[in-house]
Amino acid sequence: MRLRHIEVFQAVMETGSMSGAARLINLTQSAVSRVIANAESQLGYPLFKRTGGKLVPTAEGLALFEESAGLFERLEALRRTARNLKTGASGSLRIGAIPAISHKLLPDVLASYCRAYPEVRCEVRTIHKRQMTDALLARDIDVGLDFYAIQHPGIESVLYGEGPLYVMGPAHLTELLARSKAPLIEVLKQIPYVSLVGDDPIAINADQLLAQAHFPEAAVRVQTSQLAEELVARGLGWALIDFLTARQADRSRLSVLPLQPAVACPLNVFLLRNQPTGLAARSFFETLAATLKTREPW
């Protein structure tokens, strides 16, 4: 029996009539009758007989129905998979992102993505920069998100967005800046510096800039922009932050100003080099790009 024979045969068995099968699978009744006749011709025995005006399966038909049921269910599963693959709507996606991206960007991206592709199972791991390479190479994650690029021959960095670095300071920083009329970098020398840890790329950029301006060493170093924000809000100093954290910072208790001179902060997606990108991941990248576009300009 051909797959078409099985599909039509199953429809007739389920509905009990040629007309019911025709409605179920969107064929004409004559087309259903032709397919059944062709199947019976191929097999060499009848699948149905008419008894009292009703269509009744033969013993052979009942045996084939029982055997073909599992095959038909697998065929339907195959069709669903094929449809889902076309839209990227199935499978799983494991995402690794640094805390700032996990907390400030991913909630919006995932809200849109999960609504559009409800059959994709998403797993998010909040990891730090130095863990990103190992997680990708060990295939613990499919996609990584972080600021700046990763320099590794096995990993590809793809730029998805860019914004400036910002200064986050105490609420009176704006007033202090207006009174002094000095450049921002000079005013900041009057306030303790809360830095990210030394291996963070933002911290590396900041340290280079501040060394050139002869800044004193940071009083406190922390791992996340979220902790830096809380310390600044409690009067411990000022911090340098990414554009995502700056956008959502609480301006009722903080001053948030673009760093001058400006320093770019690129947002990158990381993938294993020379590996095929699945449709679930490609759909995620489209959602990410669309979400970033709604937030510009920074």
CA distance 105 to 77: 35
Give the length of the chain.
298
pTM: predicted TM-score of the whole model, two decimal places: 0.69
> Quick one: fold of 92-160+266-295?
D-Maltodextrin-Binding Protein; domain 2 (3.40.190)
Average pLDDT of the residues of the chain: 89
Nearest C-alpha neighbor of 146 from the set 197, 209, 104: 104
User: CB–CB of 275/136 below 8 Å?
Assistant: no
pLDDT number for residue 76 = 72
Encode pLDDT of 183-232 as tens digits: 998 999 989 999 988 777 888 878 888 888 888 888 899 988 899 999 99
Say if CB 163 and CB 189 are below 8 A apart. no
Matching fold, domains 92-160+266-295 and 166-262: yes
Q: What is the pLDDT of residues 69-82, one digit of tens each?
A: 777 777 776 776 66
Of 119 and 98, the one with more pLDDT: 98
Q: Per CATH, which fold does 3-87 belong to? A: Arc Repressor Mutant, subunit A (1.10.10)
Residue 85 pLDDT exceeds 70: no
Domain edges within the chain: 3-87, 92-160+266-295, 166-262
Of 120 and 209, more confident: 120
- How many angstroms from the chain centroid is the CA of residue 63? 47
Provide the token pair at 153. Answer: 């021959």
Task: Tally the C-alpha atoms within 13 A of residue 67's C-alpha that lie toward its C-beta.
Answer: 7
User: Residue 132: pLDDT above 60?
Assistant: yes
pLDDT given for residue 89 in this prediction? 54
**Which of 204 and 177 is assigned the larger pLDDT?**
177
Looking at residue 66, what is its pLDDT?
Answer: 87
* CATH level 3 topology of 166-262: D-Maltodextrin-Binding Protein; domain 2 (3.40.190)
Question: ∠255-256-258 over CA atoms, to 5°?
Answer: 140
The larger pLDDT score, comparing residue 174 to residue 261, is at 174
Instruction: Please check the confidence at residue 86 and state whether its pLDDT lies above 70.
Output: no
